[in-house]
A = this chain, B = another copy of it.
Amino acid sequence: MGLNSNRVDHYSGSGHENQVQTCHTSNTANAPVSITVSGETMTSVTVHDVCLPPKMSTLQKLRHRLSEIFFPDDPLHGFKNTSRLRKLILAVRFFFPIFDWAPCYSVELLRSDVVSGLTIASLAIPQGISYAKLANLPPIIGLYSSFVPPLIYSVLGSSKHLAVGPVSIASLVMGTMLTEAVPYNQDPVLYLKLAFTATFFAGVFQATLGLLRLGFVIDFLSKATLVGFMAGAAIIVSLQQLKGLLGIVHFTSKMQIIPVVSSAIQHRNEWSWQTIVMGFCFLAFLLATRHVGMRKPKLFWISAAAPLASVIISTLLVTVFRSKLHGIATIGHLDKGLNPPSSNMLYFHGQFLGVAIKTGIITGILSLTEGIAVGRTFAALNDYQVDGNKEMIAIGVMNMAGSCSSCYVTTGSFSRSAVNANAGAKTVVSNIIMATTVLVTLLFLMPLFHYTPNLILAAIIITAVIGLIDYQSALRLWKVDKLDFLACLSSFLGVLMISVPIGLAIAVGVSVFKILLHVTRPNTGVLGNIPGTQIYQNVNRYREAKRVPSFAILGIEAPIYFANSTYLQERILRWIREEEEWLAANNGSSLKCVIIDMTAVTGIDTSGLAMIKELKKMLEKRSLQLVLANPGGSVMEKLHQSNILESFRLEGVYLTVDEAVIDISAAWKPQP
């Protein structure tokens, strides 16, 4: 082929380290030449060199890699080429987004924010009380948690629509995990200490993830996993509410489906018919309003106002008829007043520290996932961007501060954020309005909740979590991606049958296994030429793609790593055997050359390099030529560093499959 192609050999000689870098300048060498193949003249055959990527030192490479890992969004690009003062202003606005929008805040915006703030407050107060009960905490903690964290978020947060406060999933998980270690009834003070400590660690964990720009950790909870997890959690939570709805006094504190259901049935004698009638009436009312709100987005205010309305009506009913309704359990006495400080209750030693840290990390990651997902969703809908890592810092700081002011884990709630956006929120001021409303409630209205029945809290919780059962998404997963469905199913069953952390661990395991399987058993296939083009495609997929006689052209669709190098070697040898059989059966020509299309081989490691080397040796023994087409930058670099490139020399590496086929078949022709 040396005669037919005028390609420059960059790999001859020992001093090729410098020469390989010169391929950018070899344009002139790539002049078209004419080659005669099987009688007809093929014009314009230029053989292009395969370049190595620009040379970088190990340190430069590490820097590049680290900046891709930790700063993919280049958060500081606004800071380039500006004066020092401007940089300072930008930095302040970067860390405190409030300075970004506060200067141009107007009365018009305030009007929108007041309406939406009051709307979410009417939702936040009953939900706060209910979710605190879900976490086995005193109801008032839920209101405390709807006051301080929203204020802090309004200074640090960059989402305009996030409604901050306690959320169902994090409350449930905290309740489950802490109750397993210390049942609330046994030692309420210790339980409260552990809850604040877990909140503190959740905040530390969240802020650390944000500071270290490790936000991608939450990506490992894929949507598929979350669909299953949420559905499982929602079912458990709803079943747990049977306690309130049926009026059972002695209910299990376990969280698996079987003990919960059997406990509800076992304590049949404790069922109270007044509670049941009233509970299911309000549940039906709440579900109906929820349905209306979802069907007609314009009527969202009906579903937003329903919980508070139910609380008011049911409290009135119980207050008026309390002599006749003594079977109905109520919230009872609540203290008036602002959040008491709780930094003295943080618990940094002793037996249960591990439980608190573990609970903190798991509730932290779950609440982070919800908060970030909600923030991103509404940002995308309203055409702005939120910086995930910055949001994590905001949520983390908010939880750390919360843990010192009698709050438990908070984040952006999906349901309230949706109401917030629908009610026309324009900035985080709606959170400030909500916090102010909660403040008024805490200072003056607490006695009014004395006769609020527990059953209404149960009904509110069920209405809130029922939307988390997204069976349509699960069906879509089944239709589109069976392995995603498996991840979804395993997190669902894991949460339902075993426990929240194990359910999550199984689901993450399945997701990671999916990636490993993709790499361990990659797609391979035989490519053929689409007549009249330079395109080579899989012959199974494109029937017009025709095999080229004497060639076996194989496409590999994965990086060649330790996990698949043995498989790929076996599979390539099998493809070659099958191609030989096919050629023998179809046109009797013998196989002479194996081309591996490396376009989709995005990386290679030392095991992969050893495989290529051995494959080449094995094929040489069988008088077959091995050619690599279009190896990527990092692959070329590694082939070069490991000196395997040398063994391929001139005739082994081409830029495209087409050039390889034409150049090699030209070399086989006897010279005229």
Q: Which residues in A have some Cβ–Cβ distance to B below 8 Å? A: 24-25, 27, 32, 46, 48, 51-54, 58, 62, 65, 68-69, 72-74, 77, 216, 219-220, 222-225, 380, 383, 385, 388, 476-477, 479-484, 511-512, 514-523, 530, 532-535, 537-538, 540-544, 557-559, 561-567, 570-571, 573-574, 577, 599-600, 602-603, 605-607, 609-610, 614, 617-618, 621, 632-634, 638, 641-642, 655-656
Question: A81 to chain B: closest CB distance in Å?
Answer: 12
Chain B residues with CB under 8 Å of A388's CB are 566
Question: A172 to chain B: closest CB distance in Å?
Answer: 23
Question: A484 to chain B: closest CB distance in Å?
Answer: 5
Determine whether the beta carbon of B72 is less than 8 Å from that of A571: yes
Question: A368 to chain B: closest CB distance in Å?
Answer: 13
Interface residue from B521, B523, B562, B606 paired with A476 (Cβ < 8 Å) = B606
Instruction: Indicate whether A523 sits within 8 Å of B570 (C-beta atoms), given known contacts A58-B482, A480-B638.
Output: no
A530–B50 Cα gap in the complex (Å)?
A: 12
A51–B634 Cα gap in the complex (Å)?
A: 30
Determine whether the beta carbon of B73 is less than 8 Å from that of A570: yes
Interface residue from B223, B535, B563, B600 paired with A216 (Cβ < 8 Å) = B563
Determine whether the beta carbon of A574 is less than 8 Å from that of B74: yes
Q: What are 24 A-B residue pairs whose CB atoms fall within 8 Å in the complex?
A: A24-B544, A48-B533, A51-B541, A68-B521, A69-B517, A69-B521, A72-B574, A216-B520, A216-B521, A216-B563, A219-B520, A219-B566, A222-B605, A222-B606, A223-B607, A476-B606, A479-B642, A511-B562, A515-B559, A515-B561, A523-B633, A537-B655, A600-B602, A600-B632
Question: A11 to chain B: closest CB distance in Å?
Answer: 17
Determine whether the beta carbon of A540 is less than 8 Å from that of B655: no
Interface centre among A74, A543, A600 (most CB of B within 10 A): A600
Interface centre among A541, A599, A641 (most CB of B within 10 A): A541
Give the top 8 A-B pairs by smallest Cβ distance, nearest first: A222-B562, A24-B543, A557-B602, A600-B600, A73-B570, A480-B641, A480-B642, A484-B606
Question: A459 to chain B: closest CB distance in Å?
Answer: 33
Question: A647 to chain B: closest CB distance in Å?
Answer: 15
Question: A66 to chain B: closest CB distance in Å?
Answer: 10
Chain B residues with CB under 8 Å of A564's CB are 219
Chain B residues with CB under 8 Å of A72's CB are 521, 567, 570-571, 574
- Total copies of this chain within the assembly: 2
Determine whether the beta carbon of A541 is less than 8 Å from that of B54: yes
Question: A383 to chain B: closest CB distance in Å?
Answer: 6
Chain B residues with CB under 8 Å of A533's CB are 46, 48
Chain B residues with CB under 8 Å of A542's CB are 24, 51
Consensus secondary structure, chain A interface: helix
User: With contacts A53-B541, A599-B600 known, what are 9 further pairs, Cβ within 8 A?
Assistant: A48-B533, A223-B607, A480-B606, A480-B638, A483-B605, A514-B561, A515-B515, A523-B634, A558-B602
A564–B515 Cα gap in the complex (Å)?
A: 11
Chain B residues with CB under 8 Å of A511's CB are 562-563
Closest to A381 in B: B617
Chain B residues with CB under 8 Å of A385's CB are 573
Closest to A511 in B: B562
A220–B517 Cα gap in the complex (Å)?
A: 12
A97–B105 Cα gap in the complex (Å)?
A: 83
Determine whether the beta carbon of B481 is less than 8 Å from that of A618: no
Question: A481 to chain B: closest CB distance in Å?
Answer: 5
A605–B513 Cα gap in the complex (Å)?
A: 13
Closest to A473 in B: B606
Instruction: Indicate whether A532 sits within 8 Å of B602 (C-beta atoms), given known contacts A567-B72, A607-B223.
Output: no
Closest to A557 in B: B602
